[in-house]
């Protein structure tokens, strides 16, 4: 099972649009992938699902994560790193069955110039610690609002080329 994680809980985010684009393109390449937006997390996750507790609302999410063998994280830049909700999500998931010895690809996105390079590197450190194997080709999409067209598709030639290369490698990974 493959799951794309839209790594923010911000409503109407470019991150979710980019995650849907990846889902559509992977489907066109013959790979079915589920999509989990962190906006779907329980509102009270900080009280209900940390430190060994498990809420009824989080159980279906945990089931998806446990069954997933390959993840594709679409991670926006928040304050020079990744969103706190992503770390909270990882902390809420059961260890080790959620991520241990599984695979993932990382895509950074930002409204600024660097496509969340630092945030992707910060998250890579966490992935290494939890033994989540990372595809070496990490994509960084800067100025995300000008990369997506009205239909939510990437359209700039270089961005399409590099994201396609990453998707092809992800499928084989």
Task: Give the pLDDT of residue 50.
Answer: 86
Distance separating alpha carbons of residues 147 and 163, to the nearest angstrom: 12
Of 148, 40, 28, residue with least CA distance to 85: 40
N- to C-terminal Cα separation, the chain:
13
List per-residue pLDDT tens for the chain, 173 residues long. 999 999 999 998 999 999 999 999 999 999 999 999 999 999 999 888 888 888 999 999 999 999 999 999 999 999 999 999 999 999 999 999 999 999 999 999 999 999 999 999 999 999 999 999 999 999 999 999 999 999 999 999 999 999 999 999 999 99
Q: Taking the CB of residue 152, how many other CB atoms lie within 10 A of it?
A: 14
Q: Where are the domains of the chain?
A: 2-172
Q: What are the distances in angstroms from CA 140 to CA 20, 61, 71, 81, 103? A: 17, 27, 17, 13, 19
Considering the domain 2-172, what is its CATH architecture? 3-Layer(aba) Sandwich (3.40)
Residue 47: the pLDDT is 87
151 in helix, strand or coil?
coil
pLDDT of residue 51: 82
Calpha distance 18→151 (Å, rounded): 11
| CA angle centred on 164, ends 153 and 88, rounded to 5° | 75
Distance in angstroms (rounded) separating the CA atoms of residues 85 and 45: 10
Beta strand pairing status for 2-6 and 133-134?
unpaired
* CA triple 91-12-65, angle to 5 deg: 30
pTM: 0.96
């Amino acid at each position: 099972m493959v799951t794309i994680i839209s790594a923010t809980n911000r409503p109407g985010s470019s991150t979710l649009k980019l995650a849907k684009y990846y889902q559509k393109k992977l489907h066109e390449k013959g790979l079915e992938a589920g999509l989990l937006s962190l906006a779907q997390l329980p509102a009270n996750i900080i009280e209900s699902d940390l430190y060994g507790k498990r809420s009824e609302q989080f159980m279906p999410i945990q089931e998806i994560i446990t069954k997933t063998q390959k993840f594709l994280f679409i991670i926006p830049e928040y304050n020079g790193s990744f969103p706190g909700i992503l770390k909270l999500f990882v902390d809420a998931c059961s260890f080790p069955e959620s991520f241990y010895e599984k695979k993932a690809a990382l895509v950074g996105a930002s409204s600024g110039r660097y496509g969340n390079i630092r945030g992707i590197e910060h998250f890579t450190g966490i992935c290494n610690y939890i033994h989540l194997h990372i595809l070496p080709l990490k994509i960084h999409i800067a100025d995300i609002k000008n990369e997506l067209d009205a239909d939510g598709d990437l359209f700039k030639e270089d961005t399409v080329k590099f994201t396609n290369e990453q998707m092809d490698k992800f499928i084989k990974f």
